[in-house]
C-alpha cells in the first residue's frame, strides 16, 4: 500500500536531512556543498565538482555514495583513457586465454547508483562523448545487449588549477551536468585546525565507514523525484522571475546588469540553455521541499542559481581564463539586479 | 409755624453776621462790597505773571466813586505793578454798582520763594456830606523765582546731557529667538513626520514614495500585488540590490534604524511570499491596511523619526 503523499514527502525529507547530517559527521566546512549534492541527488542530476587537490572531494563523494546505497564505481581520468575502458577490460584468464569482462560502467548493471569520474578533464574528448551519452540516456549497448543504468548519477571532478595534459570540457558536455559545485578549503580557522590535528581525518577510508550506509533507497529515488517535482507549485510571478533570470543570462544589458571589471555585452557569448533552466527549476523545487514548503520561492532559485548556471554560460574566449571569478560575479549581479516582482510591472 | 419762625431767625442772624463781616471791611453803611474775586492760585507765581482782582461795590446815592482817587496805573508796590484798571458802572435810583477790574503784574527779582501781595486799595466816595472810603484788603501769594540765587553764568549751571538709559531687552530678545527657533523646529518636525509631499529635503525616500503610491491603490487583490511590488522596490532601492528574506540580517546591520521593525519586516516578507509565490488567498483589505501602517513606520525610520 502506497503511503499518503504527505507522509512520503515527510519521510523522504527526514531521510534526506539524515543523509546530510551523516555526511557532515565526516566532512567539515562543506555544508553548502553537501546540501547542493543532496539537492542534485533528489533532482536526479549529475554533478561536477570543482576544486583543488586534497580538499576532500573524493571523501565527500564516497560518503554520499555510501548513504545513497547501491553500487559505487569509480574511474580515473587520464590522457590515455579510451571509451572502451569504461565499457570493458581484457585480461588473461587462469587458463591463459584472453578474456573480456564488463568495465566499471556496466559491472553493477542497474544497481549502479554513483559513478565517480575522477579528474574528468584529463580524459580525451572521445571519453567525454561516451560519458555524455550515458549521462543523458542512462543506457548503453554492449556485448550485443542493452545495459540500463536508470539510477546512476555521475559525480565528476576536475582540477581547474592544473592545465597540463588536460582537455577542456566543451560547453555541450558541461551542460549535461546539473551542477558544478565548488569545493573550497574552509575559511574557519578552527575547522582548519581540526583538519590538521584531528587524527580521524588522516584515514579517509576509515572516515567514510563512519557514515551510515543505505540511508536512502537508491532504486526509489527516480519515482520519488517525479512525485516531488509534481508536488511543488510555482506562481505566475515566480515563473516570470525565472524567465527574467534566463533572459538576463542572454541579454544582461537589457536588465541593467553591470560588472566592475568587464563589459557584460562582450562577456557573454551564450546564456543558459533551456535544459539548464529546466534543471534550475528542478533543483529549486527540491530545495523548496527540503525547506518544507510546497511552493517555489525566489530563495529556492537563489540557493542553486550559481551552481546551476555558471558552468553553462559560454564566455567570449578572451574571458575564459578568468571564468571562475567572472562567472561568480556575473551570477551574483544577476540575482542582485533582476527584481521580483518585476519593476516594469510594478511601476 | 414756630419752627419756621426759628429758621427765619437763624437765617437773619447769619445774614447779619455776613453783613457785619463786610461792614468790617467797609465799615460804612453807604457803601458795601458785594464781592471780591481774587486769583484762583496763590502759589507758583513767577515774574511777569499777570494777576487780576475784581471788586464789586454798591454805593448809595448821593455818594459815588471818586474817579480822581482811584489807584494809579503803573504804580508799583513791593514789586507788584498795577498794569490795568477798568471800572464798569451800573446805576439805579438809589444805588450805583461799580465793578472794578484790577490787573497786576509781578516784577519781583528775588531768588528765593517769598510772600508778595496784591496791595490793599482804598476807594474814596464823594458826593455826600462825609468823606467816606471803601478798603480792599491785600491778597498775599507765594512768589516763585525762575532762577536760583547766585547764578552768575549759565555755563556753571549747565549739566551734561545724558542719553536716557534704554531698557535692556537682550534677555527678552534671546528668549524670543530661542522660542522662535523651537517653534520653527517643532513645526518642521510635525511637517516632516506627517507630510507626504516631497517639498522638504530628505522627504523623497524609498518608503515615502512607496507609502504615497500605496495610498492610491485599490483595496483588492490587484492592489495587494501592486502594493507588495512597491514595498519590495523600496526595500531593494534602500538595500542597493534585491533584498530577500534570507538577507534581512545583512540589511538590518546596514540600516540599524530599521532594527526596531525587524519583526514587522520579517512578517512582511513572509506575507509577500505567501501572496506572490504560494498564492495563498489572503484578506487583501486587511493586508493593504497592514502595509499602509508598515510603510508609514518604515518611512519614519527612514527619516530618522
- Residue by residue, DSSP assigns chain B as -HHHHHHHHHHHHHHHHHHHHHHHHH--SSEEEEEEE--S--S-B-TT-EEEEEEEEEEETT-EE-STTSPPTT-EETTEEEEEEEEEEEE-SSEEEEEEEEEEEE----SS-EEEEEPPEEEEEESSSS-EEEEEPPEEEEE--SS-TT---GGGG--PPPPPPPP--HHHHHHHHHHHHHHHHHHHHHHHHH--SS-STT---HHHHHHHHHHTS-SSHHHHHHHHHHHHHHHHHHHTS---GGGHHHHHHH-GGGGGGHHHHHHHHHHHHHHHTS-----HHHHHHHHHHHHHHHHHHHTT-
* Whether residue B270 has pLDDT greater than 80: yes
B100 and B38 belong to one structural domain? yes
Q: Please tell me the total count of domains within chain B.
A: 2
In this prediction, residue B4 has a pLDDT band, given cuts at 50, 70 and 90, of: low
Domain boundary among B87, B113, B146: B146
Query: What number is the average pLDDT over the span A310-316?
Result: 91
Measure in Å the smallest separation between the Cα of B272 and chain A Cα atoms: 10
pLDDT at residue A201, rounded to an integer:
78
In this prediction, residue B6 has a pLDDT band, given cuts at 50, 70 and 90, of: low
**Is the separation of the CB atoms in B71 and B85 below 8 Å?**
yes
Verify whether the Cβ–Cβ distance A233 to B276 is below 8 Å. Answer: no
pLDDT at residue B18, rounded to an integer:
41
* Max avg pLDDT among A54-58, A130-134, B50-54: B50-54
ipTM score of complex: 0.77
For residues A275-291, one letter each, b for 16 or more C-beta atoms within 10 angstroms of the residue's C-beta and e for the rest, the string is ebbebbbbbbbbbbbbe
pLDDT tens figures, B130-183: 888 899 999 999 999 887 776 677 777 778 888 888 889 999 999 999 999 999
CATH 1.10.8.80 assigned to domain A225-346? The reply is: yes
In this prediction, residue B197 has a pLDDT band, given cuts at 50, 70 and 90, of: low
Cβ of A244 under 8 Å from any chain B Cβ?
Answer: no
Architecture of domain A5-192: 3-Layer(aba) Sandwich (3.40)
Query: What number is the average pLDDT over the span A282-289?
Result: 96
pLDDT tens figures, A18-56: 999 999 988 888 999 999 999 999 999 999 998 877 888
In a domain? residue B65:
yes
pLDDT at residue A19, rounded to an integer:
94
Domain boundary among B105, B126, B146: B146
In this prediction, residue B9 has a pLDDT band, given cuts at 50, 70 and 90, of: low
Query: What number is the average pLDDT over the span A68-78?
Result: 91
In this prediction, residue A344 has a pLDDT band, given cuts at 50, 70 and 90, of: very low
B118 and B205 belong to one structural domain? no
In this prediction, residue B21 has a pLDDT band, given cuts at 50, 70 and 90, of: very low
Mean per-residue pLDDT over chain A, rounded: 89
Q: Residue B212: give the domain boundaries.
A: 197-302
* Whether residue A343 has pLDDT greater than 50: yes
Share of chain B above pLDDT 70, in %: 87
In this prediction, residue A278 has a pLDDT band, given cuts at 50, 70 and 90, of: very high
Cβ of B250 under 8 Å from any chain A Cβ?
Answer: no
In a domain? residue B190:
no
Verify whether the Cβ–Cβ distance B279 to A343 is below 8 Å. Answer: no
**Least trusted range by pLDDT, from A54-58, A70-74, A226-230, A289-293:** A54-58
pLDDT at residue A62, rounded to an integer:
87
B220 and B290 belong to one structural domain? yes
pLDDT tens figures, A219-276: 999 999 999 999 999 999 999 999 999 999 999 989 989 998 888 888 989 899 999 9
pLDDT at residue B148, rounded to an integer:
72
In this prediction, residue B13 has a pLDDT band, given cuts at 50, 70 and 90, of: very low
User: Residue A152 has what DSSP assignment?
Assistant: -
Give residues 227 to 246 of B whose Cβ lies within 8 Å of A.
228-230, 232-233, 236, 241-242, 244-246
Cis peptide preceding B56, ω within 30 of 0: no
pLDDT tens figures, B63-80: 999 988 899 999 999 999
* Whether residue B10 has pLDDT greater than 60: no
pLDDT at residue B19, rounded to an integer:
43
pLDDT at residue B23, rounded to an integer:
38
Verify whether the Cβ–Cβ distance B276 to A295 is below 8 Å. Answer: no
Q: Report chain A residues whose CB lies below 8 A from the CB of B225.
A: 237, 341
pLDDT at residue A247, rounded to an integer:
94
Verify whether the Cβ–Cβ distance B242 to A234 is below 8 Å. Answer: no
* Whether residue A297 has pLDDT greater than 90: yes
Q: Where are the domains of chain A?
A: 5-192, 225-346
B287 and B201 belong to one structural domain? yes
In a domain? residue B280:
yes
pLDDT tens figures, B86-119: 999 998 888 899 999 999 999 998 888 899 999 9
The domain that holds B127 is classified in CATH as: 2.60.40
B226 and B294 belong to one structural domain? yes
* Whether residue A57 has pLDDT greater than 70: yes
In a domain? residue B262:
yes
In this prediction, residue B198 has a pLDDT band, given cuts at 50, 70 and 90, of: low
For residues A203-215, one letter each, b for 16 or more C-beta atoms within 10 angstroms of the residue's C-beta and e for the rest, the string is eeeebbeebeeeb
B207 and B277 belong to one structural domain? yes
Cβ of B282 under 8 Å from any chain A Cβ?
Answer: no
A and B: number of Cβ contacts within 8 A: 54
Smallest CA–CA distance from B227 into chain A, residue: A346
**Least trusted range by pLDDT, from A106-110, A337-341, B27-31:** B27-31
B225 and B139 belong to one structural domain? no
In this prediction, residue A101 has a pLDDT band, given cuts at 50, 70 and 90, of: very high
Measure in Å the smallest separation between the Cα of B246 and chain A Cα atoms: 7
Domain boundary among B131, B146, B161: B146
Amino acid at each position: 500500500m502506497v503511503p499518503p503523499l504527505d507522509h512520503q514527502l515527510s519521510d523522504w525529507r527526514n531521510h534526506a536531512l539524515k543523509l546530510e547530517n551523516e555526511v557532515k559527521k565526516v566532512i567539515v566546512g562543506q555544508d553548502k556543498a553537501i546540501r547542493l549534492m543532496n539537492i542534485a541527488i533528489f533532482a536526479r542530476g549529475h554533478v561536477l565538482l570543482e576544486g583543488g587537490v586534497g580538499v576532500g572531494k573524493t571523501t565527500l563523494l564516497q560518503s554520499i555514495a555510501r548513504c545513497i546505497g547501491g553500487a559505487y564505481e569509480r574511474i580515473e581520468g587520464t590522457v590515455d583513457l579510451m571509451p572502451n575502458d569504461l565499457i570493458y577490460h581484457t585480461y588473461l584468464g587462469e587458463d591463459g586465454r584472453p578474456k573480456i569482462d564488463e568495465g566499471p560502467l556496466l559491472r553493477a548493471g542497474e544497481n549502479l547508483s554513483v559513478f565517480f569520474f575522477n579528474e574528468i578533464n584529463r580524459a580525451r574528448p572521445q571519453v567525454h562523448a561516451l560519458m555524455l551519452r550515458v549521462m543523458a540516456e542512462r543506457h548503453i549497448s554492449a556485448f550485443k545487449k542493452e545495459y540500463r543504468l536508470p539510477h546512476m548519477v555521475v559525480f565528476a571532478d576536475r582540477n581547474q588549477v592544473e592545465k597540463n595534459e588536460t582537455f577542456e570540457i566543451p560547453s555541450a558536455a558541461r551542460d549535461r551536468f546539473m551542477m558544478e559545485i565548488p569545493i573550497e578549503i574552509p575559511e574557519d580557522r578552527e575547522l582548519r585546525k581540526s583538519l590538521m590535528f584531528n587524527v580521524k581525518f588522516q584515514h579517509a577510508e576509515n572516515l567514510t565507514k563512519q557514515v551510515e550506509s543505505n540511508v536512502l533507497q537508491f532504486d526509489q529515488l527516480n519515482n520519488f523525484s517525479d512525485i516531488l517535482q509534481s508536488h511543488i507549485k510555482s506562481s505566475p510571478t515566480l515563473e516570470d522571475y525565472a524567465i527574467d533570470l534566463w533572459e538576463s543570462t542572454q541579454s544582461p544589458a537589457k536588465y541593467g546588469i553591470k560588472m566592475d571589471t568587464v563589459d557584460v555585452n562582450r562577456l557573454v557569448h551564450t546564456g543558459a540553455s533551456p535544459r539548464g533552466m529546466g534543471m534550475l527549476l528542478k533543483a529549486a523545487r527540491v530545495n523548496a521541499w527540503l525547506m518544507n514548503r510546497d511552493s517555489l520561492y525566489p530563495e529556492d532559485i537563489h540557493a542553486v542559481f550559481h551552481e546551476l548556471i555558471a558552468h553553462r554560460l559560454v564566455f567570449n574566449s578572451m574571458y575564459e581564463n578568468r571564468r571562475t571569478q567572472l562567472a561568480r560575479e556575473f551570477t551574483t549581479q544577476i540575482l542582485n539586479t533582476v527584481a521580483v516582482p518585476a519593476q516594469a510591472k510594478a511601476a | 409755624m414756630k419752627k419756621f419762625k426759628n429758621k427765619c431767625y437763624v437765617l437773619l442772624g447769619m445774614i447779619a453776621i455776613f453783613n457785619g463781616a463786610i461792614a468790617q471791611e467797609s465799615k460804612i453803611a453807604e457803601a458795601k462790597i458785594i464781592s471780591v474775586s481774587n486769583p484762583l492760585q496763590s502759589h507758583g507765581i513767577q515774574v511777569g505773571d499777570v494777576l487780576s482782582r475784581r471788586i464789586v461795590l454798591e454805593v448809595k446815592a448821593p455818594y459815588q466813586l471818586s474817579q480822581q482817587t482811584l489807584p494809579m496805573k503803573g504804580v508799583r508796590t513791593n514789586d507788584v505793578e498795577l498794569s490795568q484798571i477798568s471800572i464798569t458802572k451800573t446805576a439805579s435810583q438809589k444805588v450805583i454798582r461799580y465793578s472794578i477790574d484790577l490787573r497786576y503784574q509781578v516784577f519781583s527779582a528775588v531768588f528765593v520763594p517769598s510772600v508778595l501781595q496784591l496791595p490793599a486799595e482804598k476807594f474814596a466816595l464823594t458826593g455826600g456830606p462825609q468823606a467816606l472810603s471803601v478798603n480792599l484788603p491785600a491778597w498775599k501769594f507765594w512768589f516763585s523765582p525762575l532762577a536760583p540765587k547766585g547764578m552768575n553764568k549759565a555755563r556753571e549751571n549747565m549739566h551734561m546731557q545724558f542719553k536716557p538709559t534704554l531698557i535692556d531687552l537682550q534677555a527678552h530678545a534671546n528668549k524670543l529667538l530661542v522660542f522662535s527657533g523651537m517653534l520653527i523646529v517643532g513645526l518642521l518636525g510635525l511637517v516632516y513626520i506627517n507630510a507626504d509631499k516631497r517639498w522638504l529635503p530628505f522627504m523623497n525616500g524609498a518608503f515615502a514614495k512607496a507609502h504615497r503610491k500605496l495610498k492610491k491603490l485599490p483595496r483588492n487583490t490587484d492592489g495587494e500585488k501592486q502594493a507588495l511590488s512597491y514595498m519590495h522596490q523600496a526595500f531593494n532601492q534602500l538595500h542597493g540590490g534585491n533584498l530577500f528574506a534570507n538577507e534581512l540580517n545583512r540589511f538590518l546591520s546596514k540600516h540599524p534604524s530599521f532594527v526596531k521593525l525587524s519583526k514587522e519586516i520579517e512578517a512582511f516578507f513572509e506575507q509577500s511570499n505567501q501572496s506572490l509565490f504560494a498564492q495563498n488567498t489572503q484578506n487583501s483589505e486587511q493586508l493593504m491596511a497592514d502595509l499602509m501602517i508598515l510603510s508609514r513606520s518604515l518611512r519614519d525610520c527612514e527619516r530618522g523619526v
